[in-house]
Every structure is written in structure tokens, then in C-alpha cells.
């Protein structure tokens, strides 16, 4: 299935029906009187978050969504029928923005959460409501009001307990394939993963948590290098970050400088994200050069304020269980109820430049309706 995490759509709520102008023409009612009923209310456009959805792909084919209009009122005191709501299902973690103003209209971060995005118009009153002792046969009624119309930008930000952050080809996809049933694409070239992947890591006895494999982040990602802004967005909703580093064939890179760059990009994207609890681990421990350099890597990261550095091999599973237990312990310090509020990233002109500062420690304790194709 194609992964789509951003779409722009137009939603239109239903118009309210018009009130009716009518008079009784019945036997045994010689004086008659006004009998025009009210128009029905227009249908709303409602977004409904559901955990079975993981992509905005369906909305990519539904660019215009309309709710039903309310019926006009009729004679004999008959009210018009209200228009049916248009209920649109979206994945949990969807944020809804006004495309014209950039205002955040809704943040659907809970299963079964429902939000009215565009309200239907009110039905107009019929002439039966305008009769007075001085005007017993009013010939006026109200028109229904139009429904709201909006152009929306939807962004999906994956909800996961642990987010894997690291440079391309550092072993994130291999890790998530080892600890869960997720089967991301794995190859020996950078940017193998182009979309996030979710997996459930289990430690047995109903102990499990959701892991998100976030595509590789490179230097300059906070300014949009590569697909950095789209990738960093999926790290916002993770309760804990797992930052992976390892030995790279590129002689200009080393694990310590990679870690510094990752922290810098997180800080430039959002200071709140940079303060998220993090576990640091060295991958590919089965390689002799990684095992030999491990003491030096730990010493270098300790100088940056990282008190504990884990090491593991996804190929042999050495150290994997210890790493999962460390992640479980970190998640225990940050219950779901304390998940930070949605992040507002820096605008480009606000992002700090140069090396990131202040990251010592890194770990803190804190349906119906009309659809136009």
C-alpha cells in the first residue's frame, strides 16, 4: 500500500433549506392561516479518527467532499429533512490545517475522536413563525444559510512509542525487522526507506510497544535537505527516541559527529523535540571494526553528556533484548497521559544555526454525503 502523509482537499458543508410560504386550504378551517414549515439544516463535514487506517491515500482520490443540503420546508407545517453528514475517516495522528491561513483546526490523536470541520447551514424559518395579531397571513419566510466551505491541508504524524532516528543505512530498518513482524525494504545503499514503517516490539507477558522506523535524516534536514522536514515530522509524536549511530564507510563521518548532527537537526526543527527522552545505541556490533571502536565511541558520547550507550547486532541479536528493556524502562518514566502536546516547528527564519547546544544528558524524565471525484 502506498504511504501518503500529506494531502490537500476541499470540504463543503450542506446548505440549510429555505423556509416555506404556505397557507391552509382545508375543509372545516374557514380562516386557514400560515402553514409554511422550516427548512432542514445542512449536513456537517466530520472527521473521524480510526486506528485501522495508516495512510491518507484514500483522501488523495477524494479532492472534494460535500455534505447533503437540507430540504426546503413545505406546507401543512412540514419541516424539511436535515442533510446527511459527510463522515470522513482519517488515521489517528492526523492534523487538519486551514490551507489558506495555516491555522491548526483539529488534531485527531485519539482513536474514535470526531471533529466537525465544516458546519452545515441553518434551515430558514417558514411563514408559520411570523404570524402576529397584526399580520395573521405573513407572506415571508427565511432563506437557509450556506454551509461552511474550507480548503484543508491534512498532515499525518505517526503515533508510536519509540521513534528510530539516525543517518541513512545505519540499521534502523534491520532493527525493526528483527524486533517485530514489520518487513521494510532493506538494502546496502542509503535512503532505502522512503516512508515510515511501524512495528510492534514484544518482550513477552503482554509487554510490548510500537516502534516507528523513520527514514534517514541527514545534515540540513531541518532546512529541508533531502526529505528532512517530512521525516522529522513523524518523530514529533514519539514518546521516546532511539538514536542509532554506527561506523560508516565514509571517512568524513564517525558515530560521535553523527550524533552531534542528529541532535543539532532535532533542535533546529523544534526545541521541544530535542528535549524528548532518548536512548542512544551503536548498531552493527557484529562487525569487527564496530566492536573495536566501541570504547572510543562511548568515551566520545560521554563527553557530549550521554551517560549510557547501548550496543547491539540485529544480525546476531546480541544486545537486542537489553536495548528493548532499556526502551521499556524509559517509556515507563513517561506514561501515555504525559505525552507532550503537538509541536509547532520553527519557521525557516527562526531556526538556530550552527552546532546544537544544551543537549547534554539527552534523556529527561519528563460516509454519507456527496463526493466529487
167-198: per-residue pLDDT in tens? 877 777 788 888 876 554 443 434 444 456 66
33 and 172: one domain?
A: no
* Mean pLDDT rounded to a whole number for the chain: 76
200 and 331: one domain?
A: yes
Structure confidence at residue 356 as a pLDDT band (50, 70, 90): very low
6 and 142: one domain?
A: yes
Q: 40 pLDDT exceeds 70?
A: yes
Q: What percent of the chain has pLDDT over 70?
A: 73
134 and 166: one domain?
A: no
147 and 194: one domain?
A: no
Predicted pLDDT at 305: 87
The maximal CA–CA distance of the chain, rounded, in angstroms, is: 105
Q: Is residue 204 part of a domain?
A: yes
Q: pLDDT digit string (tens) for 126-148?
A: 998 998 888 888 989 999 999 99
Q: Is residue 110 part of a domain?
A: yes
Predicted pLDDT at 362: 39
Predicted pLDDT at 66: 94
Q: Is residue 138 part of a domain?
A: yes
Average pLDDT over every residue of 98-121: 89
Q: 313 pLDDT exceeds 70?
A: yes
Predicted pLDDT at 233: 63
Q: 108 pLDDT exceeds 60?
A: yes
Q: Is residue 17 part of a domain?
A: yes
Better-predicted residue by pLDDT, 305 or 250: 305
Q: Is residue 37 part of a domain?
A: yes
21 and 105: one domain?
A: yes
Per DSSP, which regions of the chain are E strands? 6-12, 45-50, 64-66, 86-91, 94-98, 104-108, 114-118, 149-156, 162-166, 197-204, 207-213, 240-245, 278-282, 309-311, 370-372
105 and 236: one domain?
A: no
Q: 67 pLDDT exceeds 90?
A: yes
228 and 281: one domain?
A: yes
Domain end residue (candidates: 99, 134, 156): 156
Q: Is residue 369 part of a domain?
A: no
Average pLDDT over every residue of 13-36: 84
Q: Is residue 336 part of a domain?
A: yes
Beta-bridge mates of residue 278: 241
| Residue 271 CB partners (closer than 8 Å, separation 6+) | none
Predicted pLDDT at 182: 52
Better-predicted residue by pLDDT, 314 or 344: 314
Predicted pLDDT at 264: 83
Lowest mean pLDDT across 3-7, 252-256, 274-278, 345-349: 345-349
Q: How far apart are CA 343 and CA 332, in angstroms?
A: 22
144 and 280: one domain?
A: no
227 and 194: one domain?
A: yes
Average pLDDT over every residue of 96-100: 90
Q: Is the dihedral of CA 184, 262, 253, 245 positive or negative?
A: negative
Q: pLDDT digit string (tens) for 276-302?
A: 788 899 988 888 998 998 999 999 999
Predicted pLDDT at 43: 94
As for how many domains the chain has, the answer is 2
Q: 87 pLDDT exceeds 90?
A: yes
Predicted pLDDT at 197: 67
Task: Tell me the CATH number at 328.
Answer: 3.40.50.300
Structure confidence at residue 12 as a pLDDT band (50, 70, 90): very high
133 and 88: one domain?
A: yes
Q: Is residue 172 part of a domain?
A: yes
Predicted pLDDT at 115: 93
149 and 172: one domain?
A: no
Q: What is the 3-state secondary structure (H, E, C) of 289-356?
A: HHHHHHHHHHHHHHHCCCCCEEECCCCCCCCHHHHHHHHHHHHHCCCHHHCCCCCCCCCHHHCCCCCC
Average pLDDT over every residue of 20-46: 85
| 47 and 108 Cβ atoms separated by less than 8 Å | yes
Q: What percent of the chain has pLDDT over 90?
A: 20
Better-predicted residue by pLDDT, 191 or 263: 263
Predicted pLDDT at 111: 84
Domain that holds residue 256: 162-350
Average pLDDT over every residue of 222-231: 44
Amino acid at each position: 500500500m502506498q504511504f501518503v502523509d500529506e494531502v490537500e482537499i476541499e470540504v463543503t458543508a450542506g446548505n440549510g433549506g429555505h423556509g416555506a410560504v404556505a397557507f391552509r386550504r382545508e375543509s372545516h378551517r374557514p380562516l386557514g392561516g400560515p402553514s409554511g414549515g422550516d427548512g432542514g439544516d445542512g449536513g456537517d463535514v466530520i472527521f473521524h479518527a480510526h486506528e485501522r487506517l495508516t495512510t491518507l491515500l484514500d483522501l488523495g482520490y477524494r479532492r472534494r467532499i460535500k455534505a447533503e443540503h437540507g430540504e426546503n420546508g413545505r406546507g401543512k407545517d412540514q419541516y424539511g429533512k436535515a442533510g446527511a453528514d459527510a463522515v470522513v475517516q482519517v488515521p489517528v495522528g492526523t492534523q487538519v490545517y486551514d490551507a489558506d491561513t495555516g491555522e491548526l483546526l483539529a488534531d485527531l490523536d485519539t482513536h474514535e475522536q470526531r471533529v466537525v470541520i465544516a458546519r452545515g447551514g441553518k434551515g430558514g424559518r417558514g411563514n408559520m413563525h411570523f404570524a402576529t395579531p397584526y399580520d395573521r397571513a405573513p407572506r415571508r419566510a427565511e432563506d437557509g444559510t450556506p454551509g461552511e466551505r474550507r480548503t484543508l491541508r491534512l498532515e499525518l504524524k505517526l503515533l508510536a512509542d519509540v521513534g528510530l532516528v539516525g543517518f541513512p543505512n545505519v540499521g534502523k530498518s534491520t532493527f525493526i525487522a528483527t524486533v517485530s513482524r514489520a518487513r521494510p525494504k532493506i538494502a546496502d545503499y542509503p535512503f532505502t526507506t522512503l516512508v515510515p514503517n511501524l512495528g510492534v516490539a514484544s518482550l513477552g507477558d503482554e509487554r510490548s510497544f510500537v516502534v516507528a522506523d523513520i527514514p534517514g535524516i541527514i545534515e540540513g534536514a531541518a532546512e529541508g535537505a533531502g526529505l528532512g522536514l517530512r521525516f522529522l515530522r513523524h518523530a514529533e509524536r514519539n514518546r521516546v527516541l532511539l538514536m542509532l549511530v554506527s561506523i560508516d564507510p565514509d571517512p568524513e563521518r564517525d558515530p560521535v559527529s553523527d550524533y552531534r548532527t542528529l541532535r543539532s537537526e532535532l533542535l533546529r526543527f523544534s526545541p521541544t523535540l530535542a528535549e524528548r527522552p532518548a536512548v542512544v545505541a551503536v548498531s552493527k556490533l557484529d562487525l569487527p571494526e564496530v566492536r573495536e571502536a566501541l570504547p572510543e565511541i562511548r568515551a566520545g558520547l560521554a563527553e557530549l553528556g550521554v551517560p549510557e550507550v547501548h550496543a547491539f547486532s540485529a544480525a546476531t541479536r546480541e544486545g537486542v533484548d537489553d536495548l528493548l528493556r532499556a526502551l521499556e524502562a524509559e517509556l515507563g518514566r513517561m506514561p501515555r497521559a504525559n505525552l507532550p502536546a503537538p509541536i509547532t516547528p520553527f519557521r525557516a527564519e527562526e531556526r538556530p544555526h550552527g552546532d546544537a547546544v544544551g543537549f547534554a544528558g539527552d534523556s529527561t524524565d519528563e460516509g454519507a454525503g456527496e463526493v466529487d471525484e
